[in-house]
Amino acid sequence: MRLTGMGLAVRGRTLPCSVGRGGLSAAKREGDGATPLGTHRIVGLLYRPDRVARPARWAQPILPGDLWCDASGNDEYNQFVRAPFAPSHEALRRPDPLYDIVLLTDWNWPHAEAGKGSAIFLHQWRRPGCPTAGCIAMARRDLIWLASVVVPGETLEIPALPRWPQRVVSRRHGKD
């Protein structure tokens, strides 16, 4: 998988997507809204079993009480945690559909460096082109397809691009 100016290039398709509101960054920090440059690995796949079918055999269900710690100084920073959990966190079981399917990357994981940023996911977008808090987001149908073909350990390349458009630049699927 490789991020391009046209979207996420995967197995001969280009999936329109959006990135963080802070653009692409080689110096990612917690809360900057940037998507980190580099080569990352896919290390997990989560899904909401009450909303979508299991997208792949290795997918794990998102259950009530599943959280992701984003408390930079905490020992559980950038880790999956369970409620009750007092430090700052993000609920994985959201009322909206954004995290119905989530591909987890190894950004600043498994040994997180405080302040370097947490939780770079691939997930559903709010609407076409809507920027994220640093993740990569795409249409539901594209995410379902992606989750069905990606394997654990697969690489995600996020290169420095001249300018990342904060809108969808391509609505078609085709060769990159």
Tell me which of 119 and 172 has the higher pLDDT.
119
The per-type count for the chain, helices as H runs and strands as E runs, is 1, 15
pTM of the model: 0.91
What is the mean predicted confidence (pLDDT) over 81-88? 97
Q: DSSP alpha helices (H): ranges in 10-128?
A: none
**Is 169's pLDDT higher than 50?**
no
SS3 state at 146: helix
Per this entry, what is the length of the chain? 176
What is the mean predicted confidence (pLDDT) over 89-113? 97
Pick the closest to residue 111 from 17, 37, 43, 157 (CA basis): 43
Kind plus residue range of the DSSP H or E element containing 18: strand 17-18
Question: What count of other Cβ atoms lies within 10 Å of the Cβ of residue 13?
Answer: 17
Lowest mean pLDDT across 47-61, 74-88, 98-112, 155-169: 155-169
Domains of the chain in start order, with CATH, are 2-158 (2.40.440)
Q: In the prediction, which pLDDT does 56 show?
A: 98
Kind plus residue range of the DSSP H or E element containing 144: helix 140-149
| CB proximity list for 50: less than 8 A, separation 6 or greater | none
% of the chain residues with pLDDT over 90: 89
Q: How far apart are CA 23 and CA 82, in angstroms?
A: 31
Average pLDDT, the chain: 92
Q: In the prediction, which pLDDT does 41 show?
A: 98
Q: In the prediction, which pLDDT does 165 show?
A: 52
Q: In the prediction, which pLDDT does 108 show?
A: 96
Q: In the prediction, which pLDDT does 162 show?
A: 77
